[in-house]
A and B are shown apart, each in its own frame.
Chain A
Amino acid sequence: MKTHTIRRAVLPGVAALALALSACSASNEGGDAEESTGGVEAGSLSGQYTIGGASSQEAAQLAWTTGFTEVQPDVTMTYEPVGSGGGRENFIAGGYIVAGSDSYLTDDEGELTDATERCGGDAPIQIPNYVSPIAVIFNVDGVDELNLTPETLGAIFAGDITEWNDPAIAETNADADLPDAPINAVHRSDESGTTGNFTNYLSVRTPDTWTAGEVETWPSEFGGEGAQGTSGVVSAVTDGQNAIGYADASQAGDLAVANIGVGDEFVGPTPEAAANILEVSPQADNAGEQQLIFDLDYNTEESGTYPIVLTSYMLACPSYEDQAEADVAKAYLSYILSDEGQDFAASEAGSAPLADSLQEEALAIVETISAG
C-alpha cells in the first residue's frame, strides 16, 4: 500500500514532463525544420546549422542569423559565442561550416595548416565581415569632450598618468575643466579580441610606455579596474567616478567618447572613420587570392581615419564535400556581405559597414565557394 504513495508522488511529475516535451514548442519558433539531406538547390535551403566564434561578433551575428531567415526561411542558423580560439578550433575540427574570428589565421600554432587540411588542401577563405571601432569611453565630472594623443592614451592605461589634471592631458584639452581627481582606468578582465586590438595599437604607437605588447588578457601589473565583458566595462565606467575605458563603439550608449590623435587632428570613432583604416592598411603577408586580411596601419596619418578598430573575419572553405554545406555557407556569407546584411547589422548591432570596394572584393571571393 505505502509504495503507492511514492508512485503517486512521482508519476504526476513524469507525466507533466512528458506532456511538456511532446506538446509545445516556443511560440516564436517555426515548425520543425528538418535536417538537410544534401543536394538541395540553392534558394530553397533548409536545415539547422550551428556556427560560432568570436564573442565580439555576437551582436552582429545575432542580427545576421536573424535577418538570414528572411532570405532562407527554412534555415536556422545559430551563432555560438565561444571565442575566437574556440571558433577556429571547431572550424578546423569540422563542427562549424563557417566561423567568426577577430584575427586572421597564422601558422604560429599550426592553425593555418590545420585549416587548410580541413578544407581539403585549399587555403581557407578569410574575409572581413565588418569593422568595429573601439571607442575610448569616459565619465568625468564636467568634461564632455576629450582629445587624447596616442602617447597620452598609452600612459593612462599603463598607469603612468594617474590624475585627470595631468599636464599631458591638459595640453590637448585646453578648454576642458579637468578635475583634480584620480583616473579610474577600466579594462576587460576576461580574455578578449578587443583587448588584443587595443593593446596592439598601444604597443605600436607607444612601445616605450606600453611594454606588454599585444595581449588578449590584460596584464595585471598595469593596474586599473577590471570588468567582465564589454557590457561590464561600459557599466563600470557609467557607475564609476572619473573613469575611462575602451569598448566596442556600438555599446558606448550615452557615454562620452574620446577623440584620438591621428596625424595633426583628433578623430572620433565614427563608422566611416573606422572603415577607412582598412582602405589605408596593407594586406597581410600570407594573404592569397582568397584571403582579404589586413595588418592595420596604426601609424597612418590619413585624415578622417580612426585607427583603433576591431577587425572581424569570417572563415570558410573554398570547397565543401557536402553540397548543402557549400550552399548554406555561400548563401550566408553572401547575405552578410550584401548591402541588406551590412545595413541590418549596422542598425541592429551598431557595427560599421565595410567600404564598397572591400565589400565587392569579398563578395567575389564568396562566389567561388563550391562543393566537391
Chain B
Amino acid sequence: MTDTLHEPFHTDPSTDLSTHVPLTKPQLPSIATTLAAAVSWGLAGLPALLLSWPIAGWVVVGWILFVLALPTWSGLIEGGRKAVDRLVTILVWSTFALAMLPLVAVIYTVVERGAGALSVEFFTASQQGVLGEGGGIYHAIMGTLIITVIASVISIPIGIMAAVYLVEYGKNNRLSRTLTFLVDVMTGIPSIVAGLFALALFTLLLGPLPRIAIGGSIALSVLMIPIVVRSTEEMLKLVPEELREGALALGVPKWRTITKVVLPTALGGIVTGATLAVARVAGETAPLLLIAGTLRGTNFNPFDGAMQTLPVLIFGEATRGGLAEYVPFQIERAWGAALVLIMIVMLLNLLARVVGSLFSPKTGR
C-alpha cells in the first residue's frame, strides 16, 4: 500500500531531468466515460436487437461490457491504479442505480395498477354490502387516521418528555443510561412483536380474541415512542448551552427555560422527527392485523370492536379468497389502496422536510 502511494514521486530514470519532467501522466479525455458507455451499450444493442432480448438483458450485457471496457482502456493509458479507481467508481455508482431500481419499480407499478381504482366512490364509500366491483376504502382511511392520531397523541408527549429527561435532567446518570439503552432496544422491536404485546394485554383485559382499535394505537406507540425520543434527543443536544445558561442566569426557573427557550429552539427538528415517526407507523400492518382486525364497514369508535385500516385492507384484499370473477376487483382495490397509502406516507415525509427547513433554528448555524 505504501509503495503504491509513493509511486507518483518516483521519477522515471530514463527521463532526462534537465530537459523535461512530465508532471502529469497521460489521462483519458473527459468524455471517456460517456464514450465507453455509449460504445458498450451500443455493442450490446446489436445482438439484443437481432436476438430480441428483453430490455433487462441488454442493460446487463451493456453493463458488463462497460465494466470491462473503461478500466481496460484506462489501464492501457493511465496505468493500473487509475484503472482500479475507475472500476470501483463504476461499481459504487452501480450499487446506487441498483438500489434505486426497486423504488422506481414499486412506485411505477403502484401508480400503473392503482390509478385506475381511484374515483370519488373509492374515497367516500366503504366495503359494506359490496360483493364484487365497487365500494371504496373510506372506512380504512378513517381507521388509519383515527388509530394513527391516537398513537401520536400517546407517543409524542411521552417521547418528547423522555428526551427532555435524558438531555436536561438525566445528565448521564444510571437511570438515563438505562433509558438510552432501552430506547435503543425498543427501536429494534419487530412490529409484529408490538402487536403481540397489545394482543396479550387485551386478552388479559377482555378475554380471548380481542379486536379493539385502541390496542392498535398502543402497539403503534411502542414502535413510535423510541423514534420520537431519538430524534428529539438529537435536536435538544443541538441547542447551544449558552441559551440555557443565559436563561438560568436571568433567574428563569429551569422548567420555563426548557419550555420557553430550549423546546422552541429545537421545535423544527422535533416536528420533523415526530412527522417522520407518524409516517413510519402509518404504514404498519402486522400489529393492526393482530389487534385492530378487519371490518368491511366504518367504525369510528376506537374502544369497541374491529376497525379497518389501509395496510390491513391491502393485505386482506390481496390474500382474500372469493368468487374467481371478483378477484380482479379485489386486487385492483389493493393496488388502489396501496397508491393512497404511499401518497399519504410520501406527503408526510415531504411535510417533515418542509417543516424541518422552515422552522430550523436561526441561531447562527
Interface residues, chain A, CB within 8 Å of chain B?
2-3, 5-6, 9, 13, 17, 20-21, 25-29, 50, 56, 58-59, 62-63, 66, 69, 76, 78, 80-82, 86, 89-90, 93, 228-232, 234, 247-248, 250-254, 348-350
Contacts and interface: CB of A to CB of B under 8 A. Distances in A.
Contact of B136 (A25, A26, A82): A26
B94 interface: no
Contact of A28 (B130, B132, B305, B327): B130
Interface string B67-101: 00000000000000000000000000000000000
A3 B146 CA distance: 25
B320 interface: yes
Contacts of B121: 27
Contact of B129 (A28, A81, A93, A247): A28
B139 interface: yes
Q: Which of A63, A69, A350 has the most CB of B within 10 A?
A: A350
Given A28-B130, A82-B209, A9 B271 contact: yes
Nearest to B318: A231
B35 to A, nearest CB: 43
A234 B322 CA distance: 11
Nearest 3 A-B pairs (CB), nearest first?
A: A253-B324, A2-B264, A230-B321
B129 A27 contact: no
Contacts of A350: 323-324
Contact of A17 (B132, B149, B320): B149
Interface stretch (B193-201, B246-254, B290-298): B290-298
B22 interface: no
Contact of A2 (B208, B267, B295, B297): B267
Interface in B300-333: 300, 305-306, 318-325, 327
A136 to B, nearest CB: 16
Interface bracket on B:
35 or more
A70 to B, nearest CB: 10
A175 to B, nearest CB: 27
A369 B260 CA distance: 69
Contact of A13 (B124, B149, B264, B297): B149
Q: Which of B125, B131, B306 has the most CB of A within 10 A?
A: B131
Given A2-B267, A29-B297, A69-B129, A231 B208 contact: no
A93 B322 contact: no
Contacts of B172: none
B321 A26 contact: no
A234 B318 CA distance: 12
A89 B267 contact: no
A21 B359 CA distance: 30
B contact patch SS: loop
A105 B327 CA distance: 32
B149 to A, nearest CB: 5
Interface string B250-266: 00000000011001100
B298 A232 contact: no
Contacts of B136: 26-28
B145 A20 contact: yes
A86 B94 CA distance: 51
Given A229-B321, A230-B321, A26 B139 contact: yes
Contacts of B124: 26-27
A76 B319 contact: no
Contacts of B131: 62-63, 66, 348
11 contacts: A27-B124, A27-B125, A29-B297, A59-B322, A63-B131, A66-B130, A81-B294, A93-B207, A229-B321, A250-B323, A253-B325
Contacts of A248: 321
Contacts of B300: 21
B52 interface: no
Given A3-B259, A69-B129, A251 B322 contact: yes
A251 B324 contact: yes
B66 interface: no
Given A2-B264, A5-B267, A76-B297, A232 B324 contact: no
A3 B260 contact: yes
Contact of A26 (B138, B146, B327): B138
B142 interface: yes
Contacts of B327: 231, 234, 251, 253
Given A5-B264, A76-B128, 19 more contacts: A26-B139, A29-B126, A66-B129, A66-B130, A66-B131, A76-B297, A80-B211, A80-B306, A89-B209, A229-B321, A231-B321, A231-B327, A232-B319, A234-B321, A250-B324, A251-B323, A252-B324, A253-B325, A349-B322
B135 interface: yes
Contact of A29 (B128, B263, B267, B319): B128
Interface string B145-158: 11001000000000
A17 B141 CA distance: 12
Given A9-B271, A231-B327, A26 B298 contact: yes
A21 B130 CA distance: 23
Nearest to B160: A6
Contacts of B306: 80
A207 B108 CA distance: 51
Nearest to B320: A231
B296 to A, nearest CB: 7
A13 B228 CA distance: 18
A59 B321 contact: yes
B323 A349 contact: yes
Contacts of B324: 234, 250-254, 350
A2 B131 CA distance: 53
B209 A90 contact: yes
Nearest to A82: B209
A28 B321 contact: no
B192 to A, nearest CB: 15
B138 to A, nearest CB: 5
